[in-house]
Structure 1
Amino acid sequence: MNSDPRIIMVDPGFGPDSFDSYRDSHWSSVINHGLCSISAYVKSHGYADISLLDVRQLKDWEDFDRRMKEARPDVVAITMRSCDHKNVARALESARTANPSVRTVIGGPHPTALPADLPRDDLVDHVVVGEGEIAFRELLDDICAGRTPPRLIHGASPVLDDLPFEDRELYDYARTVRMANYPGIFKPPMVTMVTCRGCAFRCGFCAPHAEKMFGKRMRYRSPERVLEELSELHHRWGYRSIKFYNSDFLARPGWVHEFCDLYGRSGIGADIMIQTRASSLCRHEDALAALRDVGLKLVLMGWESGSQRILDFLQKGCSVEDNFRSAEICRRQGIMFGGSFMFGVPTETPTDIRASVELAQKARPYFTSVAFFTPLPGSYLYEYCEKNDLSLVKDPDDLLSFSPEKEKIKGVDYDSARAGAEEILGMKFGGRRMGRLVRGVYVLTKGNLKLRHFLVYSYSKLVSNPLYRRLNRRTKPR
């Protein structure tokens, strides 16, 4: 192979409906930060011929095959989640047809958690477990030098500040930044940012994925390095909103204070959205206030349940009291907040469901979302479900849906769970009947993202209205 191999990266999208879905919404055009980081790193080491096949931007598999054949790559690298089996298998077949001698590489969350569970294993040459920057560059070095790399490669963890800024224009980033999340509150252009890797918690529905991917400890980029990239992005795109993808932005308050000082003096002035845990928010109200002073507008939290028994079963590491207090603190600081709930959990009872409904009614988040438990392959609760023969998931595509239309766990009272979800979704509009309508409209607009964008925009404008916020400024007595 020559010293400048032709490399194709593949973003397999989100299941069988991914084609031609890179449209008018934030979620349909979100970039994969991992692929962007790997691309930037290997380009900085001299591998310049890298391009992306993003399933969401293509018409169909015929279009995918045509582009793969035209490129005739030397190396194809595919990222994979557990729901991507079918698309990844088809992409591997396309790559091998385009060039029988192509070297195929798979990495990402699923191969890291379950490296022996791969689609079309016979078409996979190399599997990267863990972080991909250093591993992929060394793999390319070996291939170009005529050496034979191992099939299973354990990726080393880079020093995050040593990595180049992400290659965001691997995607159609000019189009991506035009789509703001929570339109009506946040104005485009919007950029997304990851400032750390790893997770300090071991929630049963997710862990140990983060530990296997990034190690046991959270690793941070320095506030200075983050601000440097934000400044460069602001010069390039003139963004007005930032969404931080950290799972727990308030986990390290000292880092937050340093960042706020730098960001406040930078003059960027973009509005900010973060995700965090209720327990971290309760412990670090001072860090939350510092973020508010430099533009924080919305905090998203995974409350999961109003039942302490369910929170303990999920190994969430939070309490119902944390969930209530986080709402009170956000209101006191004048910050909008959202709480997400999880129904359909193994062992869940109608009493547990009722407790979640009461939490939503009393805490009164500005935004609510409801997901139904899905056993993520490789997670602790996946193993629990397999051991106790509880899982109804037989097809990887079932992992894509978090709605109650597809029942996933034996013994769950899905009728009660649906009723609870509808009551939460409809509580701002008059109750369960409206909640059923809200859920139905959301499902029906799946193929009409412009209409969904308009509906989300309208609701966001409503809840961000000063009059609405004054009426909604207190939690109800518990």
Structure 2
Amino acid sequence: MKNTVVLYYPAIDFKPFYPYFWAPLSILSVAAPLVAEGFKVILLDGNLGNEESDRRVVKENLPDCICFGISSMIGGGQLERGLEMSSYVKSLDGSMPIVFGGPLGTVIPEALFKDSTVDYVVRGQGEYPFLELVKLLQSGQPIMSITGVVKRGDSEINKPAMYDKESLPPYPWHLLDVEKYVRQDRLLGERVMNFISSQGCPHRCGYCSEVSSYRSRWKALTAERTLSEVSNLVKKYNLDGIKFYDSNFFVDKNRVIEFAQGLIDNGISISWAASAHPKGLKRLSDDLGLIRKSGLKRLLIGAESGSQASLNYINKGCTTEDMRR
């Protein structure tokens, strides 16, 4: 019985906007429950620039492959490169199921099915829907209805999946060559990694894909588990900085305070950065001293505009006064 799943993260044109790329947490997270269930998972990151090697790995492992998964953003050339790899896989094995995930598939899955190589699209959080799909494909059972999964030819589009992030196994870092993703950051440190502790956002900003992807819901790891996973990551790879890529890290005031206090109490000396909505920071205004003491060095605040009319127009859910505070 086949037991291998290959997950591919296409290269993105990051250089015009950013000096480097980070670990591909999307496919790493999707891999977590697969690894826990005993599947062999191979991760390929196009950003490493090993296209020839990646294609060789694909060709070598395809005979034992259940399906080929691709996680892609819309811009930066990722979608085009993802479809190119999809075409390559189909050229080797026309019956190999191709599964796409990411913002485009979540918002308008029918757009991906315009490419004849795409067989399934996973909407919203993909870890458990993809696991269920893999199990059915492995067993040869018919694919009927899986929340968050759309198959080519479906007359109805399943709603995006969302569930407690706490239920997911930890990131299987051993699937990556982690040293290739350790970065130097002038503010955070000499050895910095990325991490995501929550999914979604409770706000309804009119320009943001989170609204469609997660329907303005937010699910997070507990402060205790976030602290545990960050601590393990820091110790194992000798890190001195963590960059949280949560869309909105500061939703739950108590979680943030407990995490910050935990860093201090456990002597975890790191610098960290995270993104925030102005409303979230306003709720934490009396606790920012503690949070800063825990190592917070950079805040990315979604201010968007200094005009209240513009904020209202994009449904930002805050005022210019919130930002000034």
Contact 1:12 1:55 in 2 (8 A): yes
TM-score normalised by the chain length of structure 1: 0.60
Match among 91, 99, 107 for residue 85 of structure 2: 91
How far 1:7 sits from its partner (Å)? 1.6
Q: Deviations over 1:91-141 (max 9, x none)?
A: 110111122221111111110111111165321121111211111111111
Separation in structure 2 between the aligned mates of residue 193 and residue 288 of structure 1, nearest angstrom: 21
**1:100 equivalenced with 2:90 (yes/no):** no
Match of 1:131 among 113, 119, 125: 125
Larger radius of gyration, structure 1 or 2? 1
Query: Which AA in structure 2 matches 1:318?
Result: C
The structure richer in helix per residue is 1
Summarize the Cα distance change of 1:248–1:118 in structure 2 as closer, same or farther, 3 Å threshold.
same
Give the count of matched residue pairs. Answer: 309
Which residue, 176, 179, 192 being the options, matches 1:171? Answer: 176
Indicate the residue corresponding to 1:196 in structure 2.
198
Alpha-carbon distance in 2 for matches of 1:3, 1:158: 28
Amino acid across the alignment from 1:71: N
Aligned residue in 2 for 1:77: 69
8 Å CA contact 1:161–1:221 kept in 2: the answer is yes
1:328-374 CA distances to partner (integer Å, 9 max, x unpaired)? xxxxxxxxxxxxxxxxxxxxxxxxxxxxxxxxxxxxxxxxxxxxxxx
Give SS of 1:51's match: strand
Answer yes or no: is 1:149 the counterpart of 2:143: yes
What is the letter of the counterpart of residue 221 of structure 2?
R
Matched with 1:353 is: none
Aligned-residue offset at 1:64: 4.5
Give the Å deviation of 1:217.
2.4
Q: Give the whole-Å Cα distance in 1 for the aligned partners of 2:174 and 2:21.
A: 13
8 Å Cα contact 2:73-2:103 kept in structure 1 = yes
Who is 2:5 aligned against? Answer: 7
Partner amino acid for 2:48? Answer: Q
Distance 2:265 2:46 in 1: 40
List alignment gaps of at least 5 residues for structure 2: 145-150
SS at structure 1 position matched to 2:234: helix
CA distance, structure 2, for counterparts of residue 59 and residue 221 of structure 1: 33
Shift of 1:226: 0.9
CA distance in 2, matches of 1:272, 1:65: 36
Contact 1:274/1:299, CA 8 A, preserved across alignment: yes
Percent of aligned pairs with the same amino acid: 28
Write the letter of the residue equivalent to 2:260: C
* 1:38-77 superposed matches below 5 A: 38-47=30-39, 49-60=40-51, 64-72=54-62, 73-77=65-69
Residues 303, 323 of structure 1: 8 Å contact kept = yes
- Classify the secondary structure of the residue corresponding to 1:123: coil
In structure 1, list runs of 5 or more residues that go unmatched.
Answer: 326-478
Change (3 A) 1:77 1:200: same
Matched residue, 2:147: none
- Structure 1 residue identity aligned to 2:167: D
Give me the TM-score of the superposition, normalised by structure 2. Answer: 0.87
Preserved CA contact (<8 Å) 2:24 2:45: no
Determine the C-alpha separation between the residues in 2 that align with 1:120 and 1:10: 20
1:175, 1:293 → 2: CA distance?
30
Contact conserved, 2:205 with 2:211, CA < 8 A, in 1?
no
Q: Which residue of 2 aligns with 1:140?
A: 134
1:279 aligns to 2:291 (yes or no): no
Letter in 2 for 1:185: L
Q: What RMSD over aligned residues (CA atoms) do the two structures have, in Å? A: 2.3
> Aligned pair in 2 of structure 1 residues 34, 295: CA closer, same or farther (>3 Å)?
same
Q: Could you report, residue by residue, the CA deviation over 1:272-314 in whole angstroms, capped at 9, with x for unpaired residues?
A: 2121122322332123222112111221212222222222222
